[in-house]
Copies of this chain bind each other. A is one copy, B any other.
Amino acid sequence: MRRFVIVGQNAMTSGDFVLDDVPGTSGRMDVLVRCIRAAMLVSHGIRSDTVVYLVLLGAPNPPRTIRIDGSLARFIRPDERNLAALVQKVLSRDSAREASEGYVEHRRGISIARGGIDMVLDEVVGARAFVLDAGGKDVRDVEKLSEQDIDAVFFVGDHLGWDDPTRAALLGAGVAAISVGPIVLHAEDAVTLVCNELDRREARAPAAPTT
């Protein structure tokens, strides 16, 4: 299982943004939804081994986290407007139930909870955890990104990168910093590059020994 946790520092926690101007009205939800596509979609299909979390820290009601589970979700479209409309619908639910019930399902495979980074860190305990950060170790040189029985989780910042408290919290939780190359890229490109590295390693992983 692969998990990508995309953290939107200003990303709105209500559905009160305008689909005709997502970058200007949503706290840059456009960045986050592009990461959904990069993490979950391949040519003509969904990655069933992938879960994406959008951790939303903007006004008016932070934190809230949307979770999309590729093993269950269907009809995830690649284009930004459709993805933003999906997020808007999920956010427009009454958030009162989330506080008492944890994740509340919006539709099969897509749910929302009241909580942020700390909640997600609790949820992925035991996974091999990484944070995408320009100063981190090159992903191609990281010896073990995932293994057959160990999940990997990748924390990805938005266009603002990481604020110091969040970076400290992640590193304090033992999350290793990795980078994807010599140039600082958009969040969605970093996700694409991590997925490709995982794809390559899984493709060449030896079958389990039979003796």
Asked if residues A79 and B78 are in contact (CB atoms below 8 Å), the reply is no
Q: Number of A residues contacting the other chain (C-beta, 8 Å)?
A: 37
Separation of A80 and B79 alpha carbons in the complex (Å):
8
Contact with B along A14-42 (1 / 0, CB 8 A): 00000111110000001100100110011
A189 CB contact (under 8 Å) in B19, B159, B186, B192: B192
Task: Report B-chain residues with C-beta under 8 Å of the C-beta of A44.
Answer: 159, 184
Q: Does A182 contact B (CB under 8 A)?
A: yes
Which of A23, A80, A199, A200 is most buried by chain B, counting CB atoms within 10 A of its CB? Answer: A80
Asked if residues B81 and A81 are in contact (CB atoms below 8 Å), the reply is yes
Task: Report B-chain residues with C-beta under 8 Å of the C-beta of A21.
Answer: 81
Asked if residues A22 and B193 are in contact (CB atoms below 8 Å), the reply is no
Separation of A30 and B44 alpha carbons in the complex (Å):
15
Residue of B nearest to A23 (CB): B79
What is the oligomeric copy number?
2
Q: Does A183 contact B (CB under 8 A)?
A: yes
Separation of A79 and B183 alpha carbons in the complex (Å):
20
Contact with B along A57-93 (1 / 0, CB 8 A): 0000000000000000000011111100000000000
Asked if residues B159 and A181 are in contact (CB atoms below 8 Å), the reply is no
Q: How far is the CB of A30 from chain B (nearest CB, A)?
A: 4
Q: How far is the CB of A142 from chain B (nearest CB, A)?
A: 15
Q: Does A203 contact B (CB under 8 A)?
A: yes
Q: Does A185 contact B (CB under 8 A)?
A: yes
Contact with B along A181-209 (1 / 0, CB 8 A): 11111100100110110011011000000
